[in-house]
Structure 1
């Protein structure tokens, strides 16, 4: 019995909805002036309902458009970011190429100034951070004519000498190494009245300056004068530029003068080197 009444209620509700929709549809087809008061009332209700439904629909449509614009803006921003990253990489590459170009120009100028010597151009292939101030490895060896004790220059100045040679690579000990048994170079300060001799045998890591010691305490040395190899040590040829005098002082014992030297070669940044092949005309 309960099931029957429930079905009856559903049928009545369905018929009521059909009559309501039919009335609305019929009222929409007639002229408003000829409509009765109930029809006018129903038309107004229908218009109000349409307006109420349309507003949220418009809001939803506007929201969808906003989301679409936001996604489009995000995509454009991602593309711009990729272009900016590519530009940054290009600028870094240009900087590296400029530095390499500058280094190559310096090596070319150096070779032109060393026309009296035979030279071997080489590139640095290894520099261990643990031995950064001590040594570098270059890509030329005995097959290219490199031999132990040959002088090595970079950036217009002497930076060290060849310590070990393999067929295709060589180890270069730098003037900045703390090993005083290998960083000693016979040198001279070029003064108008004649050269003043001494030994380059130390490196100040805090200032980046070389130290030339064992200089006659009575010698008159001027700041800014060039310091070159003397050729008296039997290893390096004469007249290879080391740097310029930065400061003149007495040593810790007060027995000799010593000078600090601003290196002509950039010991901190070495990309290319020029190895000096000494000829038969060794200075006495």
Structure 2
């Protein structure tokens, strides 16, 4: 005979079922709390350690990159500035090269004279149009009243001489005692039948007119020339040294006629002659010793 009745067996099964179910829920509950605890620890570790370290590392990397970019930017700016300087130096070198080449051509045309090459080492702003200082002197054979020319023509004559330098009085000096005998060359550009029809008149007409370079007019920016003969002078005519003044040799270019004015209440003309195109800025000259 069984110790438990049918009802008791059913009750025991129910109790065992609910007990197993309770243990299962308890295990599931404990597992969930562990997961939450792990997540909390993970967030704390990320927020307090990993994220700050990562942020610091990224900031340091960004700052390093920014510093490198700044250095590269400064370097490029410096190079750009140097490029402008190099361009200026290149243009200046090209200008000096052209000036030296033109001066060499000038010297070849003056083969009958003794030529001493020189460099302008001083030009006081206060006396810009009056005088220049050259790097040659008596040790180089320089003497007073020697003629000085640049790449285009005559600029003045030696005024004072020292052992290794000399001072040149420029034609643009307003000293009225600095006179030069000049010649204005007429230019006849007629061609064809007109030139042939005027051949007789041209033969009888003078090819040039003599004059004296009296002074320099700073307001006009031109020399003042008085004519020795009454001749019709026009703008653009070339003016050269005549060689009759006893100092300047003949044929040195002085300038071109800029303007012609008639004198009021008297006969004659005032001739304004524009100096060489590069008179204000030149670095190299030749000193001519007239034999």
Q: After TM superposition, is the score higher than 0.5?
A: yes
| Aligned partner (choices 96, 116, 136) of residue 120 of structure 1 | 116
**Cα pair distance change 1:155/1:210, threshold 3 Å:** farther
The higher radius of gyration belongs to 2
| Aligned partner (choices 201, 206, 212) of residue 199 of structure 1 | 212
Q: CA deviation at 1:142?
A: 2.5
Deviations 1:194-231 (A, max 9, x none): 32121112223345322212454x41113222111111
Q: CA deviation at 1:174?
A: 0.3
What is the DSSP-based 3-state SS (H/G/I as helix, E as strand, rest coil) of the residue aligned with 1:36? helix
Distance 1:225 1:152 in 2: 23
| Aligned partner (choices 16, 33, 44) of residue 39 of structure 2 | 44
Asked if residue 227 in structure 1 is aligned to residue 239 in structure 2, the reply is yes
Asked if residue 239 in structure 1 is aligned to residue 251 in structure 2, the reply is yes
Asked if residue 156 in structure 1 is aligned to residue 127 in structure 2, the reply is no
What is the DSSP-based 3-state SS (H/G/I as helix, E as strand, rest coil) of the residue aligned with 2:247? coil
Distance 1:233 1:37 in 2: 122
Does the 8 A contact of 2:174 with 2:217 survive in 1? no
5+ residue gaps, structure 2: 1-26, 188-205
Does the 8 A contact of 1:242 with 1:265 survive in 2? no
| Aligned partner (choices 261, 281, 285) of residue 249 of structure 1 | 261
5+ residue gaps, structure 1: 1-31, 280-284
Per the normalisation by structure 1, the TM-score is 0.78
Distance 2:119 2:133 in 1: 9
1:138-177 counterparts in 2 under 5 A? 138-177=134-173
Per the normalisation by structure 2, the TM-score is 0.76
Does the 8 A contact of 1:103 with 1:272 survive in 2? yes
| Aligned partner (choices 249, 274, 278) of residue 262 of structure 1 | 274
Q: CA deviation at 1:69?
A: 0.9
Asked if residue 133 in structure 1 is aligned to residue 126 in structure 2, the reply is no
The farther-off stretch of 49-58 and 66-75 is 49-58
Q: CA deviation at 1:269?
A: 1.0
| Aligned partner (choices 210, 220, 224) of residue 223 of structure 2 | 210
Look up the match of 2:63.
67
Does the 8 A contact of 1:155 with 1:265 survive in 2? no
**Cα pair distance change 1:252/1:268, threshold 3 Å:** farther
User: How many residues are treated as equivalent by the alignment?
Assistant: 246
**Cα pair distance change 1:62/1:80, threshold 3 Å:** same
1:25-44 counterparts in 2 under 5 A? 36-44=31-39
Q: CA deviation at 1:162?
A: 1.1
CA RMSD in angstroms, aligned pairs only: 2.4
1:82-121 counterparts in 2 under 5 A? 82-121=78-117
